[in-house]
Structures are given as C-alpha cells and as structure tokens.
Structure 1
C-alpha cells in the first residue's frame, strides 16, 4: 500500500468516526427570555405588573405593638395594663378597562393580646369600577367624612359604623365637588356586639338595607361635607356635617352630629361603650349622643418627624372625651406615638384617664 492510499484511507476512517459520534453531541438549549418586573405607576407608588398579565399589584401592610393603660371607653374596666400586637396585610390590584380602573382592595388583620389570639378577620374586601364599589369596607357615613381627628382614641364618642358590606357610588366632579350614595348591610358592623342589643329588634324577617348619602366641596384650604345615615331596623338615623381647614403645618376640623331620636341608639348615632356598663346606669341611650354630638380637633407639624394632635368631643348626654398625642417618626415608615385620653360620663358620675404607647412599622 502506497502512502497516498494510506492517507486517503485514514481520512475516510476519521470522517466515518466523526459521523458516528455526531448524534451523541450535547447541544445547549436556548435560554428562556427573562421577564423583568415592570413598574406600574399609573395607580400610584408601589404597584407592579403581575408577570404575564396587564394587572397591577400592590402589597403592603403594617406591624403594630402597643401598651395600653386603663380604658378610655369603659370606666368599669378592671384592666390596669394590657399589651396588644397587630399584623395587617394589604393587597390591592388594578387593571385598566374601557370603563376606568377595575380595582380590588383586601385587608387581612391578626391581633394578639395578653397571651391570646384575639381575632383574625377579613377587615376589607371590595371591588370597584367606574365610581361603584361593592363588598366590605367601612361605612361611608364614617369613611366619606374622614373619621375624626388624627388620634388613636378618636371614637370614644361614636361617630359611625365601620366594616360592613355595601353597594356604593361615589361621584367626583374634579372641581372640588363630590357626592356619595350607599346601601349598607345593617347586620355586619364589626363593632356592633357592644351596643346593638340596646336597639336591635325584629331582624329575623328584616330585608331592607341601611342607606347613606353625602355631599362635599373643597376649595383652597377649606373643605365642607355633610352626610346622613338611615337605620332601617330602628327606623331612625343621624346627620353629620364637617368643616376642615388645612394651612400646611396647621390643620383643624369641627364636626357636629344630630340624632333623629335622642332617646334611642341607632347605627349612625350609637355608642362604642358596652350598654350594660356602669357608664349607662339607666339604659343604652345614656351611652349615646342624646340629640346631638360635637367633635373638634387640631394638629401641628413641627418638622417632618414630629407632629402633635388634640381632639375634644361632647354629647347631649354629657359625655366628654379629650385626647392628645405626639407622633414621632424617627426614621421613614416607623411611628412611635404616646397618647393620653380623658373621659367623663355625667350619667354615671365617673371619669377615667387612659394612656397608649404605640410602635408601628408600615411597609
């Protein structure tokens, strides 16, 4: 065999061997494209697109722990001090539609007090679109008005129900004028166990919802709102009016309420006090407004980290409540808030001092 034949044979053998092993070669798969989280700023800070969808999601919440001394809501309480801790998770979604933003709002809360799990509950859960809202939220009689002052014990004198199912329509003209109409569940108020027994009757075959309506206008530093609520079980209701002033560092408000029947409690002119307590020696109505109630307060921001607030309230039944606090934010999203409250019940001829020291981290 000559050299030429040897070279050609070796080349052929090498080619055959290469072809035989080609099927066994490892081919790297193409990497999957990464989908980075996209920011969704159309609905405010904190929203991002759920990957693969056009729905925006926002996660948040708070952790709060606080020491409580005495009870501003109950002069008969035998608790000297309590320690209360709360965790809360908020989940919001939003999607753009031809009718506006389709939104949901869910708030879940867990409480722990004195070595025991006191409550786990669905605080809010609602759907909104085009000005309409359905589901669980605080009553518009309370929420639309802006509650009361910027203090912890703002509702020692009751200003309205919270946490109930509703069908609501809110109108915003975009020029400072707003309006609200709401049909609300008369049985689902989370705070009702303490006082509804004073007026609740004949609910077994009751079918009509409660009703709330309100109007408001804001121009410059001033805002005014009025709202009315009708309790379909008691067949009575209440009206509140509120004036707000905002001058930047200094803010103040004045709110008044009128009960359609001062001898009765209803869901819109009720009480946050236990109607069987020493503060109500005659009947449950002693713990309510009577014919009227009034609230007022102010707050001053000394600097971005320190604010102070005071609130006063008084009723026709001669219940007086006063609260003052300091809100200190040593770092962003951390609140340390000492507060002191005084309540006097004329019908029971008694009064009490109470205090709170709160620590809260929002995220």
Structure 2
C-alpha cells in the first residue's frame, strides 16, 4: 500500500470529523439573573416580597422565659394552683407568619401563629395559636376575639376563660369609627363554675362599636351565648392623660356564658405611667359584685371580691424586654391570695 496515500486519507478523515464536532459544539447557557429579596413597605415595617410573586411576607415572634409565683397570704397555701409548689417556670416560643397582597377585594391576608410551651412537668408541644384568612373587612379562621382586647395591664379580668374560637367576623371601618359583628363556634367552651359545654348547637354572637375622639378611645362590646341563653356587655375607655394612659372598664353578665362570667358586675381601672421611654409602671384595681353561681349558672349569693396589682415594664434593649407583675386578691369569706410573674422576652 502507498504510504503517502494512506497518510492523505487519514488527514482527510480527521479533518471531516473535526468539522462535524465543531458544527455540533454545545454552547453553555447564560446564567439567569438572580432575583434579590425586595423590601415591601406597603404593609408596614418588616415585610419583604416573596421572590417571583407580589405577595409580601413578614416573619416574627418571640422567645419568653417566665417564672410564675403565688401563695395564699393567710395560711401559706397555694393560690389557684394544682401544684404543691408556690412557683413554676416555663419557656415559650412563638412564631408568626404574616402574608399580605393586594387583590380586587382589598388587602388579602393569611396569618399563622405557632406557639410552643415547655416546662418541667412534661408539658411540651407546638400548637396553632392563630390561623386565619382576612380580606377587606372579612376575617375567618381561628383567632382571638374582641374580649381578648383588655386593659394594658395584667391585673384585670375583663375577659376570662377562652378567648380564641373558630369564627367569622366582619368589621366596618370609617376613619376613627369602627363597628363589627362576629359568629363564634363555642363547642367545648369552659365556664367559670367548671362546666364544659359540648352542645351540638353552641354558637356565640359578638358585636362591637368603637371610636376615637382625639386622645380618647372608647368601645362597647356585647357577647351572647345561644346555648346558655346568657351574655355579657363590656365598655372600655382609654385616655391619654398627663404622662400616661388612663384605662377604665365595666362589665355586666346576665349569667353563665362563654365570654365573661367571673361576676355579675365588675369595674376596673388602671393608669399606665410612662416614667421614661423605656420604663412604664401600671397600677390597677378591680371590684367584683356577686362572684358565685348556682347549679343553673345564675349569679347567686352575696359574696364579692376585689383585687389590686401593679405591672412593671422595662425595655432592656432593642427587642429585649422584661415584665414584673404582682397582684393581691381578697374574696368575701375566703382567704386572701397573691400571685404574679417575672418575665424576660426577646421579640423578633
């Protein structure tokens, strides 16, 4: 075989193969631009846009360390505690996820609150604190009702028992005026005398109206328990007065109901004195008329009660606060008692 002919043929074949590979060469794709998280200021501080959407998200919550204490002032017994100890420590973690966006119906909101408590008695676990959908003035889901909006201090009982229900609520707002109505599922609700109602038709109705008049804010709230055929009415007034805020509240209850039944009548007052930008002292007082109920859930007897306490709030640093609360309570024909707590909380 002619060596030159073989060499020429090989060169031609290699040239053809190289040309074919050159024609089929793979070109690397251009990297897609990275989408950075954008701040969303449409719904307040802390929100950011979820990448690739027009939904704004805010993640917050707190970690709380608290020491509860309480003893009977007369004989050293434990006040309102099943434990034989006069103090108890627990830690709480709260995680709140708040998603909002604009829609044809108004602001569309979805909220999830997760809460877990831990103590040395084996009580641990994470539960739904709140979970609801809100659009415009409509709110549906599991959330705190209006009876949970109490005075700012810790020593009032203008709400008692459970204040979260699965509910449907609508609120109308016009400037400084608002009015709302809600329907609550009350199945399994606990009452002051220890009864737990499991009626298949236990439904509650709430209605509220409120307004602001300069430094004064007032609201009137009513709740009716259809199963117990009883209800309660509450009025609250808050006023900026001097270096602090004065709070007044009054409640009437017709009998055992899921909203308020700690007494037939009660009045409460507090004054949140802002000593400095970081330190607030809130003394409070409350009186209860007719605190006992008979077997039918009607208020009976002549026993009254009163309580007084003070709450100290101090901002140790940004997002780090402490709270100290002490309360004394005196019931007719019963021993006096006191209780309180010491709390350290880191919010984020």
With the shorter chain as reference, the TM-score category is 0.7 to 0.9
Q: Using the alignment, how far apart are the partners of 1:260 and 1:330 within structure 2? A: 44
Q: Using the alignment, how far apart are the partners of 1:324 and 1:44 within structure 2? A: 32
The equivalences for 1:245-264 within 5 A come to: 245-247=239-241, 249-261=243-255
Mapped pair 1:169 → 2:170 = yes
Cα distance, 1:234–1:138 mapped onto 2, change above 3 Å: same
**Which deviations, in whole Å up to 9, do the C-alpha atoms of 1:73-125 show, x marking residues without a partner?**
61776321111110011011112111101111211110012252345321111
Q: Which runs of 5+ in 2 are unaligned?
A: 1-11, 73-78, 291-303
**Shift in Å, 1:181:** 0.4
Q: Using the alignment, how far apart are the partners of 2:251 and 2:57 within structure 1? A: 39
The equivalences for 1:201-350 within 5 A come to: 203-204=198-199, 206-207=200-201, 209-247=203-241, 249-261=243-255, 265-270=256-261, 288-289=262-263, 291-317=264-290, 318-347=304-333, 349-350=334-335
Q: Using the alignment, how far apart are the partners of 1:114 and 1:181 within structure 2? A: 41
Cα distance, 1:36–1:71 mapped onto 2, change above 3 Å: farther
Report what 2:103 is aligned to.
97
Q: Select the residue among 85, 95, 111 that pairs with 2:91.
A: 85
Cα distance, 1:327–1:118 mapped onto 2, change above 3 Å: same
Mapped pair 1:150 → 2:153 = yes
Mapped pair 1:34 → 2:19 = no
Q: Using the alignment, how far apart are the partners of 1:342 and 1:150 within structure 2? A: 14
Cα distance, 1:297–1:30 mapped onto 2, change above 3 Å: same
Q: Conserved in 2, the CA contact under 8 Å of 1:297 and 1:309? A: yes
**Which deviations, in whole Å up to 9, do the C-alpha atoms of 1:34-88 show, x marking residues without a partner?**
0111111111111111111121111111100011122696177632111111001
Q: Conserved in 2, the CA contact under 8 Å of 1:149 and 1:298? A: no
Report what 2:344 is aligned to.
359
Q: Using the alignment, how far apart are the partners of 1:260 and 1:115 within structure 2? A: 38
Q: Which has the higher strand share?
A: 2
Q: Which runs of 5+ in 1 are unaligned?
A: 1-11, 271-287
The range that moved more, 25-34 or 90-99, is: 25-34
SS at match of 1:70: strand
Q: Using the alignment, how far apart are the partners of 2:71 and 2:51 within structure 1? A: 48
Q: Using the alignment, how far apart are the partners of 1:24 and 1:71 within structure 2? A: 86
Q: Using the alignment, how far apart are the partners of 1:337 and 1:321 within structure 2? A: 19
Report what 1:128 is aligned to.
134
**Shift in Å, 1:170:** 0.5
Report what 2:115 is aligned to.
109
RMSD of aligned residue pairs (Cα, Å): 2.7
**Shift in Å, 1:209:** 1.6
How many residue pairs align between the two structures? 319
SS at match of 2:42: helix
**TM-score normalised by the chain length of structure 2:** 0.83
Q: Using the alignment, how far apart are the partners of 2:229 and 2:89 within structure 1? A: 40
Q: Using the alignment, how far apart are the partners of 2:43 and 2:319 within structure 1? A: 21
**Shift in Å, 1:236:** 0.7
Q: Using the alignment, how far apart are the partners of 1:99 and 1:246 within structure 2? A: 35
Cα distance, 1:160–1:226 mapped onto 2, change above 3 Å: farther
SS at match of 2:330: strand
**Shift in Å, 1:20:** 6.9
